[in-house]
């Protein structure tokens, strides 16, 4: 007979109690599992800050979906899958950011004064976040999803000329915002 694992027993108890609405048990799960999840996220992302982001997003997803977990003994595998999926999302976003940075640099938007590409990526994300939603959507489709102008027109149901106009307006706004942020 296999000996009882105290970590496993505590996890199962906390899952069941959290599923019944006890917030303190959810907090207990976070304390119990966060170090393991962080190690896993760090291995997957290769980045300390990225690992923290992944774990935070994973806990949000886990808290929302905990009621759907039928077998509390499966919590570990379940939460590790969430971490793996969130890490994949994070890696994909980093890749998209690099593509966007390259594209904007190629179009004449200068890097930050000190050449810090990490700060510059954050500046770009913030600048995109300030765009009008219609412009933001075109920027994401063009730069991150690498759609052509005609594909974007089809997806959004707008003329090709409108896509070009929105892309042009977005580039000008981004350039202006990024130049202000590097001064």
Q: Please, what sign has the CA dihedral across residues 25, 29, 30, 32?
A: positive
CATH number of 6-93: 1.10.1740.10
Per the model's pLDDT, the better-predicted residue between 169 and 119 turns out to be 169
DSSP letter for 73, please. G
Q: Say what the pTM is.
A: 0.58
Q: Is the pLDDT of residue 16 over 60?
A: yes
CA distance 34 to 60: 12
Alpha-carbon gap, residue 10 to 18, rounded angstroms = 12
- Select the more confidently predicted residue: 116 or 81: 81
Domain spanning 107-181: which CATH class is it, in words? Answer: mainly alpha
**Mean pLDDT (whole number) for 130-143:** 84
pLDDT recorded at residue 108: 57
Which structure tokens are listed for 69? 């977990």
Per-domain boundaries in the chain? 6-93, 107-181
Tell me which of 154 and 102 has the higher pLDDT.
Answer: 154
Instruction: Identify whether the C-beta of residue 92 lies closer than 8 Å to the C-beta of residue 71.
Output: no
DSSP string, 85-113: HHHHHHHHHHHHHHHHHHHHHHTTPPPPT
* Residue 5 burial (C-beta neighbours within 10 Å; 0-12, 13-18, 19+): exposed
Task: Evaluate whether 87 touches 44 at the Cβ level (below 8 Å).
Answer: yes
List Cα–Cα distances, 125 to 53, 66, 75, 87, 141, in angstroms: 15, 31, 34, 18, 15
Burial label for 11, CB within 10 Å (0-12, 13-18, 19+), is buried
């Amino acid at each position: 007979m296999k000996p009882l694992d105290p970590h496993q027993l505590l996890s199962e108890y906390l899952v069941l109690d959290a599923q019944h609405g006890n917030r303190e048990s959810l907090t207990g799960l976070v304390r119990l599992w966060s170090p393991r999840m962080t190690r896993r996220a760090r291995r997957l992302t290769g980045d300390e800050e990225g690992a923290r982001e992944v774990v935070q997003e994973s806990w949000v997803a886990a808290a929302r979906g905990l009621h759907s977990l039928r077998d509390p003994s499966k919590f570990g595998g379940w939460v590790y899958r969430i971490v793996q999926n969130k890490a994949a999302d994070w890696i994909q976003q980093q890749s998209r950011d690099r593509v966007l940075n390259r594209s904007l640099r190629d179009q004449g938007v200068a890097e930050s004064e000190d050449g810090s590409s990490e700060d510059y990526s954050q500046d770009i994300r913030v600048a995109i976040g300030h765009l009008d939603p219609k412009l933001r959507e075109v920027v994401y489709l063009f730069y991150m999803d690498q759609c052509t102008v005609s594909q974007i027109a089809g997806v959004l149901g707008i003329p090709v000329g409108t896509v070009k106009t929105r892309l042009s307006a977005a580039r000008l706004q981004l350039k202006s915002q990024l130049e202000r942020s590097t001064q």
